[in-house]
Chain A
Amino acid sequence: MSETSFLNPFKAIKYLFEKPKTLRYPFELKEPALRYRGFHLNDWDKCTGCGNCADICPNEAIEMVKIPELESKPEEGIKDERPKLDYGRCCFCGLCVDICPPGSLSLTRDYFHIHFDTDTFKFIPKDEKLDKETFVPAEKYSVLKASLSLRKRDYQGFSPELKYALFEPERVEMPQVSPEKRKLSFIEQVIGYNKDEAKQEAGRCLECKLCEEACPAHLKISEYIDAIYRDEPKESLEKIYEDNPIPSICGRICMKHCEDACSLRIRGDALAIRWLKRYAADQIKNFKEELEIHPGEPTGKKVGIIGAGPSGLSLAYFLRLQGHKVVVYDELPGGGGAIRTGPPTYRLPLEAIDKDVNYIESLGVEFKFNTKVGGDIEFEKLLNDYDAVFIGIGTTIGFSTRVKNSEKCILALDFLKDNKIGEQRKVGKEVIVIGGGNVAMDVARETIRLQHIQYPDEKVITKTVSLEDWDELPATEEEVEEAKEEDVQFNPAWGPKEVVLDENGNIKGLLCKKVKSVFDEKGRFAPTFYEDKTKFLQGDMIIEAIGQRADFSFLPDELSDKLEFTERKKVKVDENGMTSIPKVFAGGDIVNINLDAVTAIADAKIAAQGIDKYLKK
C-alpha cells in the first residue's frame, strides 16, 4: 500500500464535473425489478378460496372473507371466500404465492399506498379483469396518485411458478398390474401403496379441507390423511369410521368426489385420497381386535333394514353405535348389495367386502341373508315387528334397449352378478357392449378377461357402443382409459337400431345409427338420431348396460300407492330421511341421483339421525 497523504483526497475533484447519480424522485423514477414483491394480485377466476395462503402466512396477515356475490361450489372445490390482506402485517415474503395451489395469487410491482385511514390498508386483492377501475393503463397511472385503489395494469412481479412451488404437484404413482397381464385374469388391478408411498402421498395434503365439503358423507379427510402421514393407520381408520363404516369397499370403488375438489388437481394431480383410505383399511388386518369402537347403551328399540348395500350397512352401523337393535335383510348370500354383485373382482374382491361386513356384524348387527323381503318375509311383518324400517334396496332391474330382437341380448347386471358370485358366463369371441357408463366399462372389461380365459391364444374382440360421444361419456375418465389399455374398442355417438340375427336365430351383429344429440336443450336425456347414417358392428354376443331401476314389488299395493316419488323418479324423503310412509325411511340409489356408495353413506347418516330422533320421540 502506498503512503497516506493529505493531498490524496484532491484526486476526487474530477467528480465535480460528473452528473449527479441521485434520481430526482418523483420526476425520475426507477422501474421495480420484474420479480418485485409488491402488493398482491389475485385472479378470482382461478382462486378456489382454499385458504392455504392464510395458513402459511407467518404474520397472519391474510384472512379469508366471505364474498356475498360469489357462489360456493363444493363439488368443484370452490369456496365463496377470498383472501383479505392486512398490509399493516404483511412482510411481502411471497410464501402465499409459492403455496397457492391454483396459482391465482401473485405480487405486483407497485408498492405505493399513503392514507390517513388505517382501515384502507386492509384490502381484498383482485386483478385487472375484475377491477377495471383500480387497475389503470400505464398512461393514466402516476406515482403521485398511486395507492391501493389506483394501480397499474399488467404489472405483475413475483409470480407463482410450479417448479418453485412449496407443494408437491405430482402424485405418488399407484403400482398397478400391467394391462397385458391383468386382462388375462381377475387379479386385483391396483396393488396398493406400501408404507413409504402412502406416507409420501399423504404428505402432499395441504389440509385446506375443500375435499371434506365435496364429500357427500363429509369424511374428515385431512385428519385421517394426516394420521397416515404420522404413520398411525389405526387412528386414521377410526377417524374414517366416524363417517364411513365401509372403508375397505370405499377405498377401492369410491367415486371420489373429494379428489375432484382437491386444490392440488388444478396445477397437478389430486391427492390420492381413495387409495389412502384403502391403505388405512388394508393396514389393519383385523378390525375387530384392533379398533376401539363400541356399540352404544341398549335403547330397547328395533330397526329393520331392507338391503345390505352401502346405505343399509352404514345405517346398521350408525344405529348400532346409538344402541339400537338392528336386523338387516338381504336376498343375496352376503353383504354389500349392488357392491357385492356389480364391481368386478379385479376392482373389488369379495374379501374386501366381507371384511367390512363382518366388522359391522361383530358390533352386534344381525344379518339375515338369503332372505327376500316380499318373498321369504312380508313387508307388513317388518313394519309390525320393528320400530322403524329402512329401505335401501338399490336398483336391481336392468333396462333393455327394446330394439328389434333385443330379447336375444344379455342384461349387464345379471352378467356381472353371475361372474362375481355365481357361475362364470360363457362369452362370445366378438362381444358388443351397449352403454357408455361405468357398468358398461365393467362389463366390457370383464368380457375381455373371460374371453382370454375361455379362448386362450385366439383373437378376441370386445367393443362398446354408446350414445354419448368421447367428451360426454358418463363413465369416469379413469375407467375409459383403463378399458382402452385393455384393448376394448369404442364406438361413441352411435345408437342401437336393430340386433341382426343369422338364419339360425343367432346374433350376427348390431346395426347402429349415428347420434345427432343425446340431450335436449334443457339438458334432459332425449337422444335424436340420423336414421339414414348406419353402421353394422359384427358380434356374436350383445350385452346391454344402459341403466337400471329399483324393484318395489315387495310393497303391498296400499303402501305402494302411498309412496311418493320426486320428479326424477326418486323416492321422496324429508330432511330426516323418512319417506311419505310414516316410520319407513329410505336411502341409497333409490333416493339420490349420484348412484354411488359414498352418497348412500351420506343418506344413511341422515337416516340414522332421523331414525334416532324418531325413536326417541
Chain B
Amino acid sequence: MRELELYFGPQHLGMVGNFSITLKVEGDRIINATANPGYLHRGFEKLMEYRTWMQNFPLVCRINVVEPDHMELIYSMGVEKLANIEVPERGKFIRSIYCELARVGSHLFGLWAYSNMLGFDTAANWAMYHRDLVLDLFEELTGARVYHIYIRPGGVRRDFPEGFEDKIVKTLHSIGGKVPDYNATFFENRLFEKRAKNVGKITREQAIKMGAVGHAIRATGMKYDIRKIEPYAAYDKVEWDVPTREGGDAYSRLLAIRDEMIESVHMIFKLIDKMPKKGDVFTKTPNPFKWRIPAGEAYVRCESSRGELGLYIVSDGGDKPYRVHFRTPSYSHGLTILEKALEGESIADVGNIMISLYVVAPEIDR
C-alpha cells in the first residue's frame, strides 16, 4: 500500500476550529498524525504584559471562546494569590455557581459539536438551544452572553439580580428534565455506541504520562479533579462527587461529560441553598491606575470544563504583570494525546476523537 500525507484542516469540513492535523494514511487508516497549531496565535500572554492588573481581566476571557469564564477565574485567582486578597464568602459562592453554569453551558456546546459531527442533529440542536438558556442567565447576571467579563480580581463585579437564584433553578430544571430525551436520542442510541466505543482509546498510563486532564483522564477511571484536590471558590462547602468512567475511549469520555453536567447541576442547587444571603461580593482592590502588586510569582489552577487549567503569573512589583503563562488543557489534549489517539484510527473518526477530547483550538495557541 502507498502512504499518503493528508492535510486535515484548518479548511477541512471535518475540522472544528482553526486547527490542522497532518495525517499520514495508508488507505483509510492513520499511521501517524502530527498536530499543527498556530492558526489562532494572538499573543495574549504578551498582550497582558502591556495592560494593568485591572485592564487584563476583560482580555483573558478571549483566550477561550467556548468557555471564557474559567479564564477570568484563573486570572483573578492568580492576582489574588500574588496580592494576597481574600474573596468574601458570598463572592466565593457566586463564583462557584457561575463557573458551574459555565461548565454546563460549555459542555452543552461540546455536546452540540460532537453530536453534530457524528450526524445526530436532533440532540445537537437541543444542546444548542439549552446552551442558549444558560446564556440567557449569563446575560441577566453579567450583561453579556459570551464574553461575560464578570469575575474580577477580588471577587465578582455585580451581585445577583433580584430573584436570580430562582431563575437558575427554573432554567436548570427545564434543561435537566430533558436528560431522558438526550439519553434516548443520543447517549443510549446504539448508533452512538457503535461510532464511539473503542475509538480513540488511550490507557490510563498513557493518559497520565501525556498530561491528560479533565474528562479525558476521568474517562480512564481516575478520580482527578482540581475542585477536589485543591478546592477553590466554594467547592469545599458542599458535598459532591467526581463521576468517572472506565474505557478511555470517545464513548466513555462523552458519558463522563454527561455525568459531569448532571453533577454540576446538583452542585449548583446545593450551592444556592448554602450561599450566604447577604454580604459583599468583592473585596475592594486598590485604585486601578495605581495598583502595583509586590514582586513575586504564583501558580494557580482550577478545573475548567476541559480539565485542569493553570496559570503562572509573575509580578516585578509594577502595575502590570511581568510574565503570564497559561497551562491550558487543550494543549496536551490537542497535541500529544490527540496524536496518540489518532494512530490506527480511520480518517472518518478524526473529528470524532478530537471533539471527544474537547480540543478548543484558541486555547492551544493563545
* A interface, CB within 8 angstroms of B: 1-6, 8-9, 11-12, 15, 21, 32-37, 55-58, 91-95, 98-99, 107, 157-158, 161, 164, 166-168, 203-207, 226, 229
Contact = CB atoms under 8 A, between A and B. Distances in A.
Given A6-B190, A32-B139, A35-B140, A95 B54 contact: yes
Contact of A8 (B55, B184, B282): B184
Contacts of B192: 4
Task: Choose among B136, B185, B287 the residue with the greatest number of A CB atoms under 10 Å from its CB.
Answer: B287
A55 B149 contact: no
B286 interface: yes
28 contacts: A2-B188, A4-B189, A4-B193, A5-B189, A5-B190, A6-B190, A12-B122, A12-B185, A33-B140, A34-B140, A34-B161, A35-B140, A35-B142, A36-B143, A37-B142, A37-B144, A56-B54, A92-B144, A93-B58, A93-B147, A93-B149, A95-B54, A99-B288, A164-B158, A166-B287, A167-B287, A203-B286, A206-B289
B244 to A, nearest CB: 14
Contacts of B189: 4-6, 8-9
Interface string B40-76: 0000000000010011101100000000000000000
Nearest to A230: B292
B2 interface: no
Contact of B143 (A4, A37, A167, A168): A37
Nearest to A7: B190
B355 interface: no
Nearest to B194: A4
A51 to B, nearest CB: 11
Contacts of B6: none
A107 B54 contact: no
A58 B144 CA distance: 17
A83 to B, nearest CB: 16
Nearest to A167: B287
Nearest to B182: A12
Contacts of A21: 129
B157 interface: yes
A567 to B, nearest CB: 44
A168 B181 CA distance: 52
Contacts of B286: 203
B184 A9 contact: yes
Given A6-B190, A11-B181, 9 more contacts: A1-B187, A12-B181, A34-B140, A35-B161, A56-B54, A93-B147, A161-B158, A166-B54, A205-B289
Contact of A11 (B184, B187, B255, B285): B184
A34 B140 CA distance: 7
A94 B149 contact: yes
Interface string B162-188: 000000000000000000010111111
A204 B287 CA distance: 6
Interface of B: 51, 54-56, 58-59, 122, 129, 136, 139-144, 147, 149, 157-158, 161, 181, 183-193, 255, 282, 284-290
Q: Is the interface of A mostly helix, strand, loop or mixed?
A: loop
Contacts of B55: 56-58, 95
B185 A58 contact: no
Nearest to A56: B288
Contacts of B290: 203, 205, 207, 226, 229
A537 B140 CA distance: 64
A206 B289 CA distance: 6
B94 to A, nearest CB: 13
Contact of B56 (A58, A91, A167, A168): A58
A435 B184 CA distance: 90
A476 B189 CA distance: 81
B146 to A, nearest CB: 11
Nearest to A208: B289
A603 B230 CA distance: 65
Nearest to A21: B129
A6 B189 CA distance: 6
B161 A55 contact: no
Task: Choose among A6, A58, A98 the residue with the greatest number of B CB atoms under 10 Å from its CB.
Answer: A58
A92 B255 CA distance: 37
A33 B167 CA distance: 13
Nearest to B259: A1
Contacts of A58: 51, 55-56, 58-59
A15 B191 CA distance: 20
A164 B141 CA distance: 14
A166 B139 contact: no
Contacts of A35: 139-143, 158, 161
A526 to B, nearest CB: 47
A168 B284 contact: yes
B139 A9 contact: no
Nearest to B139: A33
A220 to B, nearest CB: 16
B191 A6 contact: yes
Nearest to B122: A12
A1 B184 CA distance: 12
A203 to B, nearest CB: 5
